[in-house]
Amino acid sequence: MRASFGKEPSIILTLKRHLRRKEGISGAFFDVRPYHALPAWYFVLAGKEKHLETRIAAISIIVQEPGSVEALNATLHEYAPYVLGRMGIPYREKGVNIICIAMDAPADTINALTGKIGRLPGVSAKAAYASR
């Protein structure tokens, strides 16, 4: 399966040229796909995938603005393949929701998700990583 990017970013063209020269791979066997729409990229070279190392992390989220819940759920849905579990605690007396997400994903993916969540209005997020 070939990815279709329309006009490919220059970094992708550079990577393709480099790998064709270094690995001797022709265009028919070369495919680049976005790694879950994040800056990290993985490559499928002649049927062999080069995976990124994954980390186990817990993301703690505090939601103080009820209007951000829909955007938060949409963001979490984008990363569903990496989520191991989710726990939510509504603290009605204080008008706050506390959520914890357990993930197994590349560090770039965890950082990207934490950053996206933290930019939502009235939402704060922090990630804690398991030591290897």
What residue spans define the domains of the chain? 10-49, 54-129
Q: Region 123-129: what's the mean pLDDT?
A: 96
Tens digits of residue pLDDT in 88-107: 999 999 999 999 999 999 99
pLDDT of residue 31: 47
What are the tokens at 40?
């990290």
- The CATH number given to 54-129 is 3.30.70.1150
C-alpha–C-alpha distance, residues 13 and 21, integer Å? 12
Q: Would you state the structure tokens that stand for residue 4, as one six-digit string?
A: 């279709």
pTM more than 0.75? no
